[in-house]
Amino acid sequence: MGQSEDLISERPVINVSNNNNGRVMNTPILSSTIKNKQPHEIQHSITKDDLFTRAVIMLLAMTLSACQVMPSSQVESDDEVVISGDLSINILAMSYSPAKLEVVKPGRYTVTVSNASTILHDIVFSNGIKLIIAPGKQVSTILDIPESGLGYSCSLPGHKDAGMFGTITVNSEDHHSAESKSTALLANYSPYDPKVPALLPFETHDIYLMAVEKLNTVAKGVTQQLWTYNGKVPGPIIHVRLGDTVRVHLSNPSSNKLAHSVDFHSSQVAWNDEMTSINPGEEKLYEWRADYAGVWMYHCGSNPALHHIASGMYGMVIVEPREGLSKVDHELAIVQSEFYVGQEGHTTDLHKASLHGPDYVVFNGVADQYKDHPIEVGTSKKVRMYVLNAGPNEDSSFHVVGTIFSRVIKEGIELTLENKGHYGAQAVDLAPAQGAIIEFTTPEDGLYPMVTHAFNFVSKGALGLIKAGDGDPKK
Given a cut of 70, whether residue 7 has pLDDT beyond it is no
- Domain boundary residue, one of 46, 74, 102: 74
Domain count, the chain: 3
CATH code for position 138: 2.60.40.420
Report helix, strand or coil for 43: helix
- Domain boundary residue, one of 185, 216, 239: 185
- Domain boundary residue, one of 125, 154, 185: 185
pLDDT, position 121: 94
Q: What is the pLDDT of residues 216-246, one digit of tens each?
A: 999 988 999 999 999 999 999 999 999 999 9
pLDDT, position 22: 42
Please check whether residues 145 and 292 belong to one and the same domain: no
Q: State the average pLDDT over residues 166-177.
A: 69
Q: What angle do CA 375, 452, 264 make, to 5 degrees?
A: 85
Rounded-to-integer distance, Cα 301 and Cα 286, Å? 14
Please check whether residues 217 and 116 belong to one and the same domain: no
In 3D space, the residue among 107, 121, 215 whose CA is nearest the CA of residue 168 turns out to be 107
pLDDT, position 247: 97
DSSP of 241-276, one letter per residue? ETT-EEEEEEEE-TT-SS-B--EETT----TTTTTS
Does residue 386 lie in a domain region? yes
Cβ-based neighbours of 367, under 8 Å, separated by 6 or more: 92, 218, 219, 220, 222, 339, 360, 361, 460, 461, 462
For residue 393, what is the DSSP state? S
pLDDT, position 243: 97
Rounded-to-integer distance, Cα 453 and Cα 460, Å? 12
Indicate the pairing of strand 238-241 with strand 314-320: parallel
Does residue 193 lie in a domain region? no
Please check whether residues 57 and 93 belong to one and the same domain: no
By CB atoms closer than 10 A (0-12, 13-18, 19+), residue 198 is: exposed
Given a cut of 80, whether residue 336 has pLDDT beyond it is yes
Specify the higher pLDDT residue, 432 or 11. 432
Please check whether residues 266 and 123 belong to one and the same domain: no
pLDDT, position 236: 96
Given a cut of 90, whether residue 5 has pLDDT beyond it is no
Please check whether residues 365 and 234 belong to one and the same domain: yes
Please check whether residues 233 and 358 belong to one and the same domain: yes
Does residue 160 lie in a domain region? yes
Cβ-based neighbours of 308, under 8 Å, separated by 6 or more: 227, 260, 299, 300, 301, 302
Q: What is the pLDDT of residues 298-307, one digit of tens each?
A: 999 999 999 9
Rounded-to-integer distance, Cα 105 and Cα 426, Å? 53
Please check whether residues 297 and 414 belong to one and the same domain: yes
Domain boundaries, position 149:
79-185
Q: What is the pLDDT of residues 274-292, one digit of tens each?
A: 999 999 999 999 999 999 9
pLDDT, position 356: 81
Type of residue found at 284? K
Q: What is the pLDDT of residues 423-467, one digit of tens each?
A: 999 999 999 999 999 999 999 999 999 999 998 899 999 999 999
Provide the H-helix boundaries in 210-349. Answer: 305-310
Given a cut of 60, whether residue 178 has pLDDT beyond it is no
pLDDT, position 150: 92
Please check whether residues 384 and 449 belong to one and the same domain: yes
pLDDT, position 60: 53
Does residue 397 lie in a domain region? yes
Q: What is the pLDDT of residues 65-77, one digit of tens each?
A: 444 444 333 334 4
For residue 105, what is the DSSP state? S
Given a cut of 70, whether residue 54 has pLDDT beyond it is no
Please check whether residues 87 and 53 belong to one and the same domain: no
Contacts within 8 Å (CB) and 24+ apart, 257-262: 257/213, 258/213, 258/227, 258/302, 259/302, 260/211, 260/227, 260/300, 260/302, 260/308, 260/313, 261/300, 261/301, 261/302, 262/209, 262/229, 262/286, 262/298, 262/299, 262/300, 262/301
Does residue 195 lie in a domain region? no
Report CA-CA distances (Å) from 2 to 7, 27, 36, 52, 165. 9, 22, 12, 21, 79
pLDDT, position 46: 52
Given a cut of 90, whether residue 17 has pLDDT beyond it is no
Given a cut of 50, whether residue 408 has pLDDT beyond it is yes
Does residue 474 lie in a domain region? no
Please check whether residues 58 and 134 belong to one and the same domain: no
Q: State the average pLDDT over residues 85-113.
A: 90
Length of the chain: 475
Percentage of the chain beyond pLDDT 90 is: 67
In 3D space, the residue among 457, 459, 404 whose CA is nearest the CA of residue 427 turns out to be 404
Does residue 198 lie in a domain region? no
Given a cut of 90, whether residue 250 has pLDDT beyond it is yes
Please check whether residues 176 and 245 belong to one and the same domain: no
Given a cut of 50, whether residue 10 has pLDDT beyond it is no
Return the number of other C-beta atoms located less than 10 Å from residue 470's C-beta: 11
Rounded-to-integer distance, Cα 211 and Cα 298, Å? 13
Rounded-to-integer distance, Cα 450 and Cα 460, Å? 14
Please check whether residues 356 and 434 belong to one and the same domain: yes
Does residue 144 lie in a domain region? yes
Q: What is the pLDDT of residues 149-166, one digit of tens each?
A: 899 999 998 888 878 999
